[in-house]
Structure 1
Amino acid sequence: MKRLFSLRFGLVLTALATLGTTGCIAPRAVTSTGKVTPRGEFRAGANQSFNIPSETIGKTGSVVKEAATQLASQDKVEYSDLVDKVQVAALAYVLDPVQPATDLYVRYGAFDRLDVGYKYAFGSHVFDAMYQFMGPTGTPERPEGPAGALYGSIGLQYATQRAKLPSIPYLDDIDGLLRFRATRHDLIVPLVFSHSFGPEEEVGAVSFGAVYTHSFLRYGFDPRNIYVKGSTTELLPTLPEQKRSFSSYGTFANVKIGYRYAYIIPAFALYYQNYGTYQLLNNQTAKLKGFTFIPSVGVQFRIPTSRK
């Protein structure tokens, strides 16, 4: 058993190492099924997703990119509408970036209907638990239900991250101009239903459900070379730390395909969020809302342990 466990764990590490690191974002792709990890077993895996938010794409177009480069090249920047646009672009990117995201995770079956897990998304740390309220709790080796059984579970995830703009040329310009800082925390509640392929998901499952997310953001701007309009001596006051929160509502579907110990999981999630109203420099405000599309693909390994 120890040799078999070491071999499977080595395969997990090798697969995870092949997935490159990408940006820092709390993962919202849902690749779980309605069946939680059986008691005493481990699951480990990795996901590669792409975050495509409509609002961020709309606020970071070519005009904003050119404005950021132009403003960053000036020793003294006079406040204008362009400054507002680059602020909105920075906020939009932190609220919902356009970027790929990789996450690695491990889960453990703590009880018959409850598992716990940790997920690392290269800057974002996620802790969660899932409770299975419907369906059998066996394993492929010791099934407790028929092939094709239905499962249901609900979870709670907590994610924390230091939000920052990625190292992309025009975003670096914005960061240098505004001295933008932000942190965020996310609470995520997925409701998952699944239909097993074979007994106890021996060859996989098809899953679907809904997700509710509530995000808490703190941010501020501390520019050092932006001046009041019409003045070359009066600096624009900094924006002290602001606190905002917003909700997201989503739906998802995924397919888990494999056999007993290794699976591939393609998935798709769709979210809608009204991010709310945000304070900008010079007493200006901005309202943001939109849809987010998240296609993903992942690998998952089941690591059973001996049970009496």
Structure 2
Amino acid sequence: MNTTLTLLFRRQPVALLVAASLLLATSCTAPRAIVTTGKVTPQGEFRVGYNQGFNVATSSLSKVGSAVKEAASQAASQEKVDYTEATTKIQAAALAYVLDPVQPTADLSIRYGIIPRLDAGYKYAFGSHVFDTQLQLLGPTGSPENPGAGAASGTTYASIGLQFATQRAKLPSLPFLDDINSVLNFRATRNDLLVPLTFSQSFGPEEEIGAISYGLVYGHSWVSYGFAPEKIFNGSVKVPELTLQKRNFSSFGGFVNLKLGYRYVYVIPAISVFYQNYGNYTLLNGASTSLSGVTFVPSLGFQLRVPNLFK
């Protein structure tokens, strides 16, 4: 009986965490919050984490005003929609939200130390699958239980990472975006690559009580999209669908995060900022739009360190 109660007690926090994640993760946006430090996972160790963030993109905010929301609602209620400037703005809003939405994000992650200066991990962002690796360039490679040579509070670490995410992009579940999708029949896919260069200073030997981290990030995204509307007309002629279009763009950013805890459990508040020029995008009826903007990604993460028990 005591064993059963103990198992239930241990499983309850995990169940609560999963339930909270499902409630908070409203889309499948690839995570861009940088919550790692310059020190990679020591060989043979695991790190398990949960991260909750919010993606705030100026491009999406600028493309969706009250007039666009009203036009989308009106178009969704009509059996036939005449192509106007409002139709162009609706398409631009849909693209902006797929390229960089305004919405909460969440992911569950696991990392493993492969060799002393290299680890690899996987994140599930509720629809987006993310694979990444990190190579440590500077600093000792020990653990709090077995510090490496030169490990002390204030020791500097540095690493470079590579993260690849793939997903079937979709509009967030918001009323006006549902209206837009019902009018445009919008479809899209995307792949994202991130390369963070991270520096950190340890709190305690080998980040025993945490670290402060900062650095630069380069990103590149590949997007395919198209529109297949059924009720948009140019006069008496139905507007033909926009076949699959392919675009790619780069992002440039920086970040800072703070890792606080003791040996096994840490909390990690972070902020990342990106700038991207998304480029020009073809729309229905021969129209086009150009997009650019800044994105802010505040986040709060939790990390569990599982030491190497067989070393």
Q: TM-score, normalised by structure 2?
A: 0.93
Q: Does the CA contact (< 8 Å) of 2:219 and 2:251 recur in 1?
A: yes
1:208 partnered with 2:214: yes
Q: 1:258 to 1:123 in 2, by over 3 A?
A: same
**1:29 is matched with which residue?**
33
Superposed structure 1 runs of 4+ greater than 2 Å apart: 9-21
For 1:104, which of 87, 108, 124 is the aligned residue?
108
| Counterparts of 1:51 and 1:216, CA distance in 2 | 19
Q: How big is the shift at 1:168?
A: 1.3
1:179 aligns with 2:185: yes
1:240 and 2:243 correspond = yes
Please state if 1:42 is matched with 2:46.
Answer: yes
Confirm whether residue 121 of structure 1 aligns to residue 122 of structure 2.
Answer: no
1:170 aligns with 2:176: yes
Q: 1: distance between equivalents of 2:72 and 2:32?
A: 29
TM-score, length basis structure 1: 0.94
Sequence identity (%): 58
Are positions 1:192 and 2:226 aligned together?
no
- Where 1:56 maps in the other structure, the secondary structure is helix
**In the alignment, what sits opposite 1:157?**
163
Match of 2:98 among 91, 94, 99: 94
In structure 2, the gaps of 5 or more residues are: 1-6
Q: What secondary structure sits across from 2:70 in the alignment?
A: helix
Task: State the alpha-carbon separation in 2 of the partners of residues 10 and 203 from structure 1.
Answer: 26
2:256 is aligned with 1:250: no
Give the CA deviation at 1:307: 3.4
| AA aligned opposite 2:309 | S
Count how many residue pairs are aligned between Structure 1 and Structure 2. Answer: 300
Between the aligned partners of 2:12 and 2:76, the Cα distance in structure 1 is: 47
Could you tell me how far apart the structure 1 residues matched to 2:205 and 2:173 are?
A: 47
The one-letter amino acid of 1:28's match is: R
- Given that 1:12 and 1:44 are in contact with CA atoms closer than 8 Å, whether structure 2 keeps it comes out as no
Q: CA deviation at 1:10?
A: 5.2
Equivalent in the alignment of 1:3: none
Tell me which residue corresponds to 2:292: 289
Alpha-carbon distance in 1 for matches of 2:230, 2:71: 18
Deviations 1:47-91 (A, max 9, x none): 110000011001011111001001111111111001101000000
1:120-169 CA-to-partner distances (Å, cap 9, x unmatched) read 11011100100001000000000012222110000111100100012211
Rounded Cα–Cα distance in structure 2 between residues aligned with 1:64 and 1:192: 40
Contact 1:38/1:111 (8 A) holds in 2: yes
Alignment-mate amino acid for residue 83 of structure 1: T
Gaps of 5+ in 1: 1-5
Indicate the residue corresponding to 2:21 in structure 1: 20
Q: Deviations over 1:219-261 (max 9, x none)?
A: 0000011011xx23x1001100000000000100000000000
Please provide the CA RMSD for this pair: 1.6
Distance in 2 (CA, whole Å) between partners of 1:302 and 1:46 is 12
Give the counterpart of 2:230 among 207, 224, 240: 224
Separation (CA, whole Å) in 1 of partners of 2:260 and 2:70: 45
Q: Give 3-state SS (helix, strand or coil) of 2:160's partner.
A: strand
Q: Which residue of 1 aligns with 2:135?
A: 131
Does the 8 A contact of 2:103 with 2:172 survive in 1? Answer: no
